Structure 1
Amino acid sequence: MVTYQQQLNHKIEYLRDLFQDLDIPAIQVFESPEKHYRMRAEFRVWHEGDEIFYAMFERGQKASGASLVRCDQFEAADKAINALMPRLIDAVNSDERLKTRWYAVEFLSTLSGEMLVTMIYHKKLDDEWVEAARALQDKLGIFIIGRSRGQKVVLAQDFVTETLNVGGRDFKYRQIEGGFTQPNAKVCEKMLAWACGAADGLGGDMLELYCGNGNFTLPLAQKFDKVLATEVSKTSVNAALWNIEANGNRNIKIARLSAEEFTEAYTQQRAFRRLQEQGIGLEDYRFSTIFVDPPRAGVDVETLKLVAGFDNVIYVSCNPETLKENLAVLSQTHRIERMALFDQFPFTHHIESGVLLKRKG
C-alpha cells in the first residue's frame, strides 16, 4: 500500500518535472491530514432486502452490483460525518416514510460543527416525508434537505456556516448546498495563509477573478486598500455578499461578471449595466495585483492578456497542465517568485498549486 508521504512525494516530483523548463523556485509543500480531511461526502444508498447501507462504485466501473463497495464508514471524511453515518442509517431504517426509494445522500460538514444532509429520492416528497424528516432533523441535530426530480424541500436552511482561521483571525463563510467550496478545510486554511503571505507588501488595490463565495477574497482584503472581485454564479455572489457583511469587510465590492465579461469591461470593449447598478466604477481603482483561481480549463486567451498587464499575479490552480500553459505565456513578462503545492486531495492524482509572479525589470 502506498503511504501518504509516498503519494505526496510523487506529486512533488510530478510538478518539478512538469515545470522543469521554467525558472521556478523551490516548491513549498502544504500537507493534508491523512484521514478525516474531507468536509463533503456523497454516497449511493443501496437497498438489499430490508437492509440499507451506503455505497460507492469502483472508479471507472458502471453503477452495478458487481462494482459496488459498501461504505459503513469512510475514513477520508470528517469525523463528524463518520459519527453521523450509522445514526442516520439506523434512524431511517425504522421509518418507511424516509426509507422508501431513498437513493443517495450528500453530507456537508464544517470545522465549526454544523452539518447539512441532502437526502435524494426516486419519489415525490409529500407531507408525510416532511413530517418524518423534521423529526429526524430534530433528533440528530442536523439540517436536512430533501431532493427528488423537480423538487427541493428545505426544512430549515440550505447552507452551513464554516469558520476558517487565517493568521490568527476567524473568517465566517456561508457554504450553500450545491455550491462550490474547498472540501479539505485544513488545507484550505493553509492555502489562504499562503496567499496572504504572497500578498504581503504589495499594497494598492487588488482585482480578483473567479471569486466564488469569497473564500480568498476575505483574508486577502486585509492586504489591500480596495478589492474588486468578480464571479458569474448568482448563488456564489449571494454567498459572497453575505460573507463580506458577516465579516465586516468594508473594502470589497463584487461584480457579477464572468472573467471574459470583465475583460471586455476593463478594456472598454463593452459597457455593462450591472457594474453601474452595483455602483462600481473601474476608474476608481489603482490595481497593483490580480488574483485568479480559475476552473480546470485555466485562464482563457483574452483574459490571460489582461492578467499579463498587472505587476503582481497570484495564481491558484486546480490543474497543473493548464497552469503550465498559462505560465508559459506569463513567464515572458513576469518571473515566478513563489510556488506552492497544496495537497487538497490526498491519495488522488489531483493537485492544487499556487504561484506568485512579479513583472520583470
Structure 2
Amino acid sequence: MAKKLREKPAPEIVSGLRLQEMAYGGEVVARLPEASAAPKGGPAATEELPEGAEEGDFQPLKEPVETELVAPPVPAGSQVVFVTGGLPGETVEVQLYRRKKSFIKANVRNVEQASPDRREAPCPYFGVDKWPNCGGCQWQHADYAAQLNYKHNILRDQMVRLGGFVDREPPLLSPLAAVSPWGYRNNVEFQVDEHDGRPCFHRQNSIRLVPVQSCHISHPLITLAIEPLTRALQKHLPRRVHQVTIRVGGVSGDAPISAEEIAALASYSEDPTRKLAALERFLAVGPLELALEKPRPTMLLVLRMLGEWQVTDLQPFLEELQRSLDRYVELTVVGEGRKRRLEAVGGDPFIAEALDGVTYRVPPLAFFQSNSPMAVELVREALGAFGEAGLNLRGKRLLDIYCGVGTFALQMARRGAKVLGIEEYAGAVEGAAENARLNGLEDQCSFVAAKAEEYILELEAQGEHYDGALVDPPRRGCDPALLHSLLKTRPPVLVYVSCDPSTLARDIKILSEGYELVRTRAVDMFPQTYHMESVSLLRAK
C-alpha cells in the first residue's frame, strides 16, 4: 500500500502587525491578539516554514546559541511574536513559521509602513526576502545610528530585567560607535560544501549552507580571498577539508571602507577599475604600487582536514593561493587534524597585530578580538574606567582574569601597573608570556594557568592584595564560583568587559552584594549584528 503524503498546510499570514521594540537576538517584538495567534489548519500549522523554505532548513545549529529568548511581559489576551526582517515602528505583513509555549516566530513578507531608519541592504545574501539567505547579520536593513540606539536599549533592557535595576535607571553611557560599520571582521569561519568545495556560511536559523562570494562585514582581504580559496580547494584538496578559518593581522590601523568598495572586490564584480580603486583605498592612500611597498598584512588559513593527510599535501594549495594573493598579504596555511594536530606551511604560524603600541602574536586557535581597529578603542575604554575610579595604574597591582594572550594585561603593564594574568587554557598563557617578552614587559606582568575562582582565594590566604581587577569572560559570563571569590576578596575597583548583555546583567546582580555599578557603556565591535561588547565599572561598597 502506498504511503499517504501529508498535505502541506497553507501558510499562516498576518497583516497589519505593528512592530515595537528590538529584542536581544536581532528580532523585533510584536504583540498578536490571541484570536489571530491561534493555529490554523491541522497540527502541522504549529511548525510551518517560511515560503520558499525546505524541510530541514530550520533545524538546531550544531553549536546552540547560548542566549535564550524570553518573552517580555504582554497585555492579557495577546501573545509575543519575534519578527525577523522588520524594524521598530513598522507595520508589516508576516508569515508565522514556529510556535513555542510563550512566543511565536515570524518572518516579514511585506513592509506596509516602513521606518525612516530602513535602508537597502548591500549584501546579496542578506534578508528574509532572499532564499537561501545568510544568518550572519541581522540589521543590514537598518541605518547605523539606529543600530547603536537598538544596542543601547537592549543593554538597558537586560539590566532592568536581569540586573536588578527595577526601581532606578541603570547608569548607562552613550554607545561607542564602530570605526567602520563594514569590512571589520579579522577572522571568519567558512563551512566547505562537500560536493563542490565552495566556501559557505550557514543559512538563517539553519544547519544548511549558503555558498558566498563576498562578506560585507569581513575584512576586504577576506572577500578578496574567497575566489582563489574556492579554486584552490577544488583543485588541490577536493573533499578533504570541511572548515576553513581565515584570520588577518596587521590591520588595526585600517581606514574605514564602504559597502560598495567591498562589493567591488567580490568575484561577481565586473568592474576592474572599481576593484583597483578599492584595493588602493584600504591598503593605503595613494597608488597601489606605493601601497605594495609597505609591510604586508598577514593572512593565516586554518584548514580542518578530513581523513589522513601530510603537511606536503598543503603546499600545492598554498602555491595556488599565492598566485592570486601574494601581492597583498603574507600567507600561512595551517592544517588541523585529529587531536588538534597542527602543521603549517608558508609564513609564520601565528597572526601578529599591534594595538596601542603593544604587539601581539596570536596562535592559530587562540582567541583575539575580531575587530582590530575597535579592539584599540575597547582597550582604551577599559583602562579609562580605572582612571574614572581614581586609580592611577602606575605602580598599582592588578589582576587580569580570563586574560587570554594578554590583550588587557600587557596594556596595563605598559602603563606602569604590575599585573597578574590568570587563564585556565595553558596554551593562551604561554602565548601571553611570549607576548610579554616580545614587548619587553616580562618584569611588569606574569601569567598563570589556573582556575581563577580558586587561585585568587589562595592569593588572599597568602596575604596578597590587589588594587583592582579586570574580568573579560566568554559569552557565558563569569563562573558563579568566581563571582563569589571576587565578593570574598573584594578588589576595590572591578572592570567587567562583557560580550553578552544578558550574562553581564546576571553577574552584575550577583556582584551587587559587594559592589556598586558606577557605569556601563556598549562598545560596538559588531556592526550589522545584535552582538556587542560593553565595559562596566564597579566599585567595592
Q: Using structure 2 for the length normalisation, give the TM-score.
A: 0.57
The answer to whether the 8 Å contact 1:137/1:143 transfers is no
Q: Does 1:41 pair with 2:188?
A: yes
- Corresponding residue to 2:402 among 210, 220, 241: 210
Shift of 1:254: 0.8
In structure 1, stretches of 5+ residues that fail to align are 269-281
Higher normalized helix content (fraction of residues) = 1
Q: Does 1:57 pair with 2:202?
A: yes
Counterpart amino acid of 1:55? C
CA distance in 1, matches of 2:525, 2:302: 23
Relative CO higher for 1 or 2, CA cutoff 8 Å, sep ≥ 6? 1
- Corresponding residue to 1:159 among 341, 350, 355: 350
The answer to whether the 8 Å contact 1:35/1:77 transfers is yes
Shift of 1:230: 0.6
Shift of 1:343: 1.5
Shift of 1:190: 0.9
CA distance in 1, matches of 2:363, 2:419: 23
Counterpart amino acid of 1:74? C
Instruction: Quickly say closer, same or farther: Cα 1:311–1:146, change in 2 above 3 A.
Output: same
SS of corresponding position for 1:28: coil
How many residue pairs get aligned? The number is: 334
Instruction: Quickly say closer, same or farther: Cα 1:130–1:245, change in 2 above 3 A.
Output: same
Instruction: Quickly say closer, same or farther: Cα 1:341–1:358, change in 2 above 3 A.
Output: same
The answer to whether the 8 Å contact 1:30/1:342 transfers is yes
CA distance in 1, matches of 2:311, 2:536: 52
Shift of 1:16: 1.7
CA distance in 1, matches of 2:401, 2:379: 16
SS of corresponding position for 1:227: strand
The answer to whether the 8 Å contact 1:53/1:72 transfers is no
CA distance in 1, matches of 2:414, 2:436: 12
* Range moving further from structure 2, 148-157 or 218-227: 148-157
* Range moving further from structure 2, 54-63 or 34-43: 54-63
Q: Give matches, 1:13-52, under 5 Å.
A: 13-20=153-160, 21=165, 24-32=170-178, 33-46=180-193, 52=197
SS of corresponding position for 2:224: helix
- Aligned-CA RMSD value: 2.4
Instruction: Quickly say closer, same or farther: Cα 1:288–1:224, change in 2 above 3 A.
Output: farther
SS of corresponding position for 1:324: helix
The answer to whether the 8 Å contact 1:314/1:354 transfers is yes
The answer to whether the 8 Å contact 1:196/1:220 transfers is yes
The answer to whether the 8 Å contact 2:232/2:317 transfers is no
Q: Does 1:341 pair with 2:522?
A: yes
The answer to whether the 8 Å contact 1:232/1:258 transfers is yes
Q: Does 1:247 pair with 2:439?
A: yes
Shift of 1:128: 5.2
1:115 is aligned to: 299
Shift of 1:146: 1.8
Percent of aligned pairs with the same residue?
Answer: 26
Deviation per CA, 1:77-101, whole angstroms, max 9, x where unpaired? Answer: 11111122223333444x3x33453
The answer to whether the 8 Å contact 1:241/1:254 transfers is yes
The answer to whether the 8 Å contact 1:101/1:123 transfers is yes
CA distance in 2, matches of 1:180, 1:120: 17
1:101 is aligned to: 240
CA distance in 1, matches of 2:391, 2:376: 21
CA distance in 2, matches of 1:303, 1:23: 27
CA distance in 2, matches of 1:34, 1:287: 38
The answer to whether the 8 Å contact 1:344/1:352 transfers is yes
In structure 2, stretches of 5+ residues that fail to align are 1-140, 252-296
Q: Give matches, 1:315-326, under 5 Å.
A: 315-326=496-507
2:262 is aligned to: none
The answer to whether the 8 Å contact 1:205/1:224 transfers is no
1:304 is aligned to: 483
Instruction: Quickly say closer, same or farther: Cα 1:120–1:326, change in 2 above 3 A.
Output: closer
Q: Give matches, 1:210-249, under 5 Å.
A: 210-249=402-441
SS of corresponding position for 2:368: coil
SS of corresponding position for 1:27: coil
- Corresponding residue to 2:450 among 220, 238, 257: 257
Counterpart amino acid of 1:356? L
Higher Cα Rg, which structure: 2
Counterpart amino acid of 2:479? D
Shift of 1:321: 1.8
Shift of 1:102: 3.4
Counterpart amino acid of 2:358? F
Q: Give matches, 1:104-143, under 5 Å.
A: 104-112=243-251, 113-126=297-310, 129-133=313-317, 135-136=319-320, 139=323, 140=326, 141-143=330-332
Instruction: Quickly say closer, same or farther: Cα 1:130–1:10, change in 2 above 3 A.
Output: closer
CA distance in 1, matches of 2:386, 2:416: 8
Deviation per CA, 1:111-137, whole angstroms, max 9, x where unpaired? Answer: 341110112332322365144245346
CA distance in 2, matches of 1:54, 1:106: 10
Q: Does 1:293 pair with 2:485?
A: no
Instruction: Quickly say closer, same or farther: Cα 1:79–1:138, change in 2 above 3 A.
Output: closer
SS of corresponding position for 1:153: strand
Instruction: Quickly say closer, same or farther: Cα 1:263–1:69, change in 2 above 3 A.
Output: same
The answer to whether the 8 Å contact 1:11/1:351 transfers is yes
